[in-house]
Amino acid sequence: MIAAKSHQTRKAEPFHKRGHGKEAGVSKSDGSKAEGAKAASTGAEDAEVVAAQGRGDPDGPAGKASKSRSKGAEAAATAEAGEAPPLGHGDPDEALKDAARRVRENAYVPYSGFKVGAAIRSASGAIHMGCNVENAAYPEGTCAEAGAIAAMVAAGDLRIAEVAVIADSPHPVPPCGGCRQKLAEFGDPEVLVVMYNTQGEMLRTTIRDLLPGGFSVDYMLRS
C-alpha cells in the first residue's frame, strides 16, 4: 500500500508582516483555482492598501496629484473672478507673448516692412491685441501699442495689467515715446512691460522706467 503524501500547510503571515510588492505567503492547495483566487485576493488587498497610503501621503503620487488639482482649481477660481496678478510682479505672461507674436503677422507695413505686435492683459484678465498700421501720409500711421489700447477700450476695459511687444529687430523693441505716454494713461507706474524680438531675446521693464517724468492729469489740477 502506498502511503498517502501529507500536505504541509504553512500558516499565512499577518498582512502587516508582509512587504508590499512581494509575493504573499499562502497555503498550498490541491485546487489550483483556489490558489489563484487567494493570490488575486491578496494582490487586491495590497493594491488597496498601497493606494490608501498614496492618498494619505502628501508627497506620494496621489497626494501630488491632489495638490495639483487643488492649485488648478484655485487658478481657475481666480480667473473666473476676474482677478489679475499683482502689477509688475511674476514671470512674463507666455500667453501674452504668443498673442503679440501672432497679431504681428497682420501688421500693415507696405512702406517700412517693419512689423510690430503688441498685446495687453487688462485688469479683468482679458487679452487685447494690436499691430502697426502704416499710411502713405506717413505721420497718420498707428503703432501696435496704440492699436492694443484701442481694442482694450473698445472692449470696455480701462486698466492695463501687463504689456508684451515684439518685432523682428536686433534687440527687444521698446515702445516709442508717444506709446509710452498712452500706456501711462491706462496703466499704473509699476505695470510690467516685456519687450521681445523674434530671435527670442527679452527685456523686462515698467511703465515708470519707460517714461520717467511723464505727463499726467496731476499737472492739470489747479489749487
Q: Which residues are annotated as a binding site for substrate?
A: 132-138
> What region, left, alpha or beta, does residue 211 occupy, with left being phi > 0 and alpha being psi -120 to 50 degrees?
beta
Residues annotated as binding site for Zn(2+)? 143, 176, 179
Burial pattern 175-208, b for ≥16 Cβ within 10 A else e, equals beeebbbbbbebbebebbbbbbbeeeeeeebbbb
Report whether 123 contacts 155 (CB < 8 A): no
In the set 35, 94, 140, 145, the catalytic residue is: 145
145 is catalytic: yes
Report whether 71 contacts 175 (CB < 8 A): no
Residues annotated as binding site? 132-138, 143, 176, 179
Any idea which residues carry the catalytic annotation?
A: 145
